[in-house]
């Protein structure tokens, strides 16, 4: 029974690597996907939706490797309502200790019109595909995409068919973020009460944040009987994003008095994975983001500061350390040694090898020479900026910029391209424009700049600037990110980083191949 006790455990289903990666520009590398999956597994996430295996060869390989390396979590792959998709999904997840197939179809009138299926034809398709999935795997999840805009009678009919065909989890997606909390709770409650066999399966909720109610809707669904929440780290996802993992986990923990359900997530690991997802996706966390935002535990108002000094609980409902934020931000400097840096990195949640430590330490010393004080966020930025030059065809050797109020800016850039050095001087409306033109002069390309974003890592005029650059070429999107105390240098590194990622995608696809992935927009 999934709703028999108020003390039932709520399963956390993370789809950062699938739904989160659908956010334009959030594409992660193979190595980054494996890293994020490992962190999710380690922090106690129950189910990891590792990807959409049929989408591309890269996605299939990532899901397969995540499945093979999983230790605790159920590893799930997504599949459309087709035997081909489901077979490919099973091939990818079957090596996991606990595999799951997640198959879906759009049941609302708008989504039924896409494949031009009648209600009866779709019902038959659901029966056939869920049955096929269950014959391969004993853990099958089914989703009626756009459930919140599906006719009630038809929704009940399709859910019953899926349960009879062998689905063990029924996910109820609010695909376009249309519903409200009261409706969300009522929908789950009515399905459990109405559909035969509903008390024998787990009901899940998957909410999008188009109206800013994803977390509220997810928690309301739990109150209605759902025992699985689908979410992403930082709320990453298409359009306005998904239910944020950190929000539901901490809401259940902090307000256990009125939300008497528990999760298995180690909340002290939240801040670390939030930072890593932000870095690898190129999507900075907004300062006032709940739980993980830079200002989430900052107090500037005089009355707030006075209250905090007297009793932290005056204005804090949770402790920073509850989410893995260091209670003390120990400042490091140029006299700090390698052992101190390793200890600091471990405290921040990073276990890195000797070679990476060597690289980070060299750049830490260089940063400490330019900055009087190096804070935790500076060190996090250094780790996030670590690259493997051996895998980069394009590398910056040096950059000199002239700019001011008189005349256009000038950038002289020296780069190493496939092992050969080249130099170019270009002019532009500003130093960044001139620098980007110099990159294009040295390595001509048709990539279109979709996003250029600068964020200060810490306070002060000597703060590092983290720059995110998103490029698009022939339907392929890549994001590059870099940090430096010089904003123009950081911009150049981020731009070249994004170009290198585009090149990797091309090389993996082969000459003349279509590098665009299978479209699965607005899935679930």
Binding-site residues for Mn(2+) sit at 19, 206, 208, 242
In 353-457 the beta strands, taken as DSSP E runs, fall at 394-402, 409-417, 420-428, 448-456
Give the Cα separation of 86 and 98 in Å (integer): 17
Give the Cα separation of 139 and 359 in Å (integer): 43
Summarize the annotated binding site as residue ranges. Answer: 19, 206, 208, 242
- CA 281 to chain CA centroid, Å, is 6
Q: Report the DSSP beta bridge partners of residue 471.
A: 449, 478
Give the Cα separation of 217 and 227 in Å (integer): 13
Give the Cα separation of 236 and 278 in Å (integer): 9
Q: With the CA atoms of 489, 494, 497 and 498 taken in that order, what torsion angle do they form, in degrees rounded to the nearest 10? A: -150
Q: What are phi and psi of 369, to 5 degrees?
A: -70, -30
Tokens of residue 464, six digits: 């590092």
Three-class SS of residue 5?
Answer: coil
Q: Report the DSSP beta bridge partners of residue 78.
A: 102
Asked if 89 and 101 count as a contact pair (C-beta separation under 8 A), the reply is yes
Give the Cα separation of 48 and 41 in Å (integer): 8
- Long-range contacts of the stretch 445-451 (C-beta < 8 A, 24+): 445/473, 445/499, 445/502, 446/473, 446/474, 447/471, 447/472, 447/473, 447/498, 447/499, 447/502, 448/472, 448/473, 450/24, 450/25, 450/477, 451/25, 451/282, 451/479
Tokens of residue 344, six digits: 């600091």
């Amino acid at each position: 029974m999934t709703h028999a006790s108020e003390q039932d455990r709520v399963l956390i289903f993370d789809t950062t690597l699938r739904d989160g990666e659908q956010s334009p520009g959030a594409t992660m590398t193979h190595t980054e996907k494996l890293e994020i999956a490992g962190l999710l597994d380690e922090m106690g996430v129950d189910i990891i939706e590792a990807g959409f295996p049929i989408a591309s060869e890269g996605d299939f390989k990532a899901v397969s490797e995540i499945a093979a390396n999983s230790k605790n979590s159920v590893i799930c792959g997504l599949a459309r309502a087709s035997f081909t998709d489901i077979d490919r999904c099973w091939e990818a997840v079957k090596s996991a200790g606990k595999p799951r197939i997640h198959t879906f179809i759009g049941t609302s009138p708008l989504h039924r019109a896409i494949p031009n299926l009648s209600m009866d034809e779709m019902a038959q398709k659901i029966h056939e595909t869920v049955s096929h999935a269950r014959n391969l795997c004993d853990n099958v999840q089914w989703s009626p995409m756009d459930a919140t805009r599906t006719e009630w009678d038809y929704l009940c009919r399709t859910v019953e068919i899926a349960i009879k065909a062998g689905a063990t989890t029924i996910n109820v997606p609010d695909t376009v973020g249309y519903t409200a909390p009261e409706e969300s709770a009522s929908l789950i409650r009515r399905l459990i009460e109405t559909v035969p066999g509903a008390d024998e399966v787990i009901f899940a909720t998957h909410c999008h944040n188009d109206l800013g109610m994803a977390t509220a809707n997810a928690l309301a669904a739990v109150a209605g009987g759902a025992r699985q929440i689908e979410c992403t780290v930082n709320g990453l996802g298409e359009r306005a994003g998904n239910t944020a993992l950190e929000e539901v986990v901490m809401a259940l923990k902090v307000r256990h008095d009125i939300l008497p359900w528990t999760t298995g997530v180690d909340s002290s690991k939240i801040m670390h994975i939030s930072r890593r997802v932000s870095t690898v996706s190129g999507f900075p966390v907004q300062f006032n983001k709940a739980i993980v935002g830079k200002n989430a535990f900052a107090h500037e108002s005089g009355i707030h500061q006075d209250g905090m000094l007297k009793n932290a609980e005056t204005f804090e409902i949770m402790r920073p350390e509850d989410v893995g934020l260091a209670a003390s931000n120990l400042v490091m400097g140029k006299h700090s040694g390698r052992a101190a840096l390793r200890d600091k990195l471990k405290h921040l949640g990073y276990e890195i090898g000797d070679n990476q430590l060597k690289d980070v330490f060299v750049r830490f010393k260089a940063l400490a020479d330019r900055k009087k004080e190096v804070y935790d966020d500076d060190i996090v930025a250094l780790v996030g900026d670590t690259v493997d030059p051996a895998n980069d065809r394009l590398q910056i050797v040096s950059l000199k910029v002239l700019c001011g109020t008189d005349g256009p800016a000038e950038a002289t850039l020296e780069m190493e391209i496939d092992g050969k050095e080249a130099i170019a001087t270009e002019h532009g409306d500003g130093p960044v424009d001139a620098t980007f033109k110099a990159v294009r002069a040295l390595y001509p390309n048709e990539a279109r700049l979709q996003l250029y974003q600068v964020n200060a890592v810490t306070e002060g005029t000597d703060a590092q600037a983290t720059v995110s650059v998103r490029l698009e070429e022939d339907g392929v999107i890549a994001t590059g990110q870099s940090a430096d105390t010089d904003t123009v240098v950081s911009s150049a590194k981020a731009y070249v980083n994004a170009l290198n990622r585009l090149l990797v995608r091309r090389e993996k696809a082969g000459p003349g191949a279509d590098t665009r992935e299978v479209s699965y927009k607005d899935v679930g």
